[in-house]
A and B are shown apart, each in its own frame.
Chain A
Amino acid sequence: MELKMDDLTKEFGKFTAVDHISLTMTNGVYGLLGINGAGKTTLMRMLCTLLRPTVGNIYCNGRDIFEMDSEYRKLLGYLPQEFGFYPEFTVQDYLLYIAALKGIRPAVARKRVRELLEKVGLAKAAGKKMKKLSGGMKRRAGIAQAMLNDPKILILDEPTAGLDPNERIRFRNLISELSEERLVLLSTHIVSDVEYIANEIWLMGEGTILHRGSVEEIIASMPENVWECSVKKDQVAAYMRNYKISNMKTEPEGAALRIISRDRPAESAKRAEASLEDVFLYYFGENAKSEAEEIG
């Protein structure tokens, strides 16, 4: 399976959401990392044929996906960021309906729904109305619907948004389990969602791919170093002003800081191993920080 984006561009009036992206994906997990407004959702919507590009094309095994139409969508599983459902439907009815939308015959659909409900841990909630499910359960129903047709291309847009840490870990493991022999594109602004499961990470900002590669390659791409040091309370503000701080832990005497800087920021500072989160902060600066605060 090969999905190729060729000069892909999407403009909304004067605003360019996706800016001339040319990339190729094959089987494996791709983590699309970027802050809100980076263009991730627009890119994914084009990959799901929900939006037509202003310029450029998307090819699936060499054929234009918009020309392939339903033939392409047959290969596709999609979990959108805003996962909408029909509140009065039971989980089972909902999945059977989506199965019908995906052209799966009713007898096959019933079997597939049973299997997937087991897999995502919703077997006991099959008769529950969708509106009665918790946030995590809804997301699991979402991944189940995306998997109904055993897609060769699985696109997950912010699948862990709004989940508590436990649910997020469960969800991550589930995606990892499902990623065998298919192409998975997972967008997130939470670094840990993709850090351990993505074969390749794309850093996206302002509609373009800033960097791409494995976690190690992305980390190595950062031209600065990571330092850890403890500073006194009255020095914290000055450090915050002068350096990119990827983490701050308050201590009785002051604070333990994790600083991104080319040069040693203090005598006592020790070099630390850079993480993907540091790289994220380095490329997306204050915006990345505020998002990190947002997700707690």
Chain B
Amino acid sequence: MEKFINLKAIVAPMDRPNVDTDAIIPKQFLKSIKRTGFGPNLFDEWRYLDHGEPGMDNSKRPLNEDFILNQSRYQGAQILLARENFGCGSSREHAPWALLDYGFRVVIAPSFADIFYSNSFKNGILLIKLDAAVVDDLFNDVAATEGYELNVDLEKQIITKPDGSTIAFDVDEFRKHRLLNGLDDIGLTLQHTDDIKAYEQCRRAEAPWLFN
């Protein structure tokens, strides 16, 4: 996993609540057996005017010019500003893979769905929960200023606006630690092999039917 320490980048606004993982990456692209290459199909049904299928040359497909990510002012955006319950629905990790492959490293919203939240951090994407009123202000700021950028500092847990004002954010200590250091969860857990074996031995004695 790639570390996340600090990022200054353009913000793209996704102004609708309950954006689900079917919208983030439609199911036909879940047939891939790879982790990469989902970026061109991020928000596929909103982004293109035709029906997308795996294997198409996406550069030749008709774009929905009204869709936010197709507008020139949001090109190169790495921070996505969203509404409540972002990432609801399926557990597909293809959703954070698609966001990451497109270039997003930060999503800011009033709330996120649980499984999407966990999946995103495991792929080096920082999700920031802010009060709905603060998010509302950011939507207004982004709309008012072309090329609007935010500076996100994970170490200090602070977002800095272009005018120098700041917004503090919370993040679980264990997620922050893994993200700052780009740590591999499996490697960390395997340091506790003895604990797992001891648990199994004990559990096998009290509930042997779980080990048949």
B and A form one assembly: no
Chain B residues within 8 Å of A, Cβ to Cβ: none
Chain A residues within 8 Å of B, Cβ to Cβ: none
